Chains A and B, each alone.
Chain A
Amino acid sequence: KNEVEQSPQNLTAQEGEFITINCSYSVGISALHWLQQHPGGGIVSLFMLSSGKKKHGRLIATINIQEKHSSLHITASHPRDSAVYICAVDYGGSQGNLIFGKGTKLSVKP
């Protein structure tokens, strides 16, 4: 069964802290997506990666294909980073049929 596991489910941090969210999946993938969703809002694509590491501003995403694991890091966290972060994987099957993790709810306190 294709599964995507995220941890932690909930995360509370103080402003300025370094944050890591983890994602594990069960079989080979063609790509992995990190998405951000603010309460009641739409989804923003943060990264799509199939190998290595990507960086955008204070966000860094890494993926280890052999270990079937990806991490999303946020440096110098800020209250505006408070959102649900979702990992989704593309197993290369049906187009658009991503397998989504349950999400990590991040709350950054000032």
Chain B
Amino acid sequence: DTEVTQTPKHLVMGMTNKKSLKCEQHMGHRAMYWYKQKAKKPPELMFVYSYEKLSINESVPSRFSPECPNSSLLNLHLHALQPEDSALYLCASSRGVTGELFFGEGSRLTVL
């Protein structure tokens, strides 16, 4: 299994809603990432988890809250988002500190 699975594929939410994005991999990778990608732009790193611990937070607003319950799962909790947060949110994983990245198909978020 060389897949990174993201759910939901599409999400529409209001600015007062609370929702979560989920990411799962069963490749035994110990590093997992959240990226944000706006249209026609390259991905921007948001968070990195290494061995289930948050190792990098790229100055992301607190309305985005990551969680890594175990080595296979990564969540991104969303609360009080703004319309400008609408984007494709990509999850990725890698074996360790350096290595090939495996990306999911992304969750396309629209904030109304």
Q: CB-CB contacts of B101-112 with A at 8 A, as 1s and 0s?
A: 111111010000
Q: Identify which of A31, A33, A88, A95 contacts B31 (C-beta below 8 A).
A: A95
Interface of B (DSSP majority class): strand
Binds A, one of B14-22, B43-51, B70-78: B43-51
**B residues in contact with A35, CB < 8 Å:** 101, 103
Asked if B59 is at the interface of the complex by the 8 Å CB criterion, the answer is no
Q: CB-CB contacts of A86-101 with B at 8 A, as 1s and 0s?
A: 1010101011111011
Interface of A (DSSP majority class): loop
List 15 extra interface pairs beyond A42-B90, A42-B103, CB under 8 A: A30-B98, A35-B101, A40-B88, A40-B108, A42-B105, A43-B92, A43-B106, A45-B100, A45-B103, A90-B98, A94-B48, A95-B50, A95-B98, A101-B42, A102-B41
Which residues of A are at the interface with B, using a C-beta cutoff of 8 A? 30-31, 33, 35, 40-45, 48, 86, 88, 90, 92, 94-98, 100-103
A-B contact pairs, 20 of them (CB 8 A): A30-B98, A35-B103, A40-B108, A41-B106, A42-B90, A42-B105, A43-B92, A44-B103, A48-B100, A92-B98, A95-B50, A96-B33, A96-B48, A96-B56, A97-B45, A97-B56, A98-B45, A101-B42, A102-B41, A103-B42
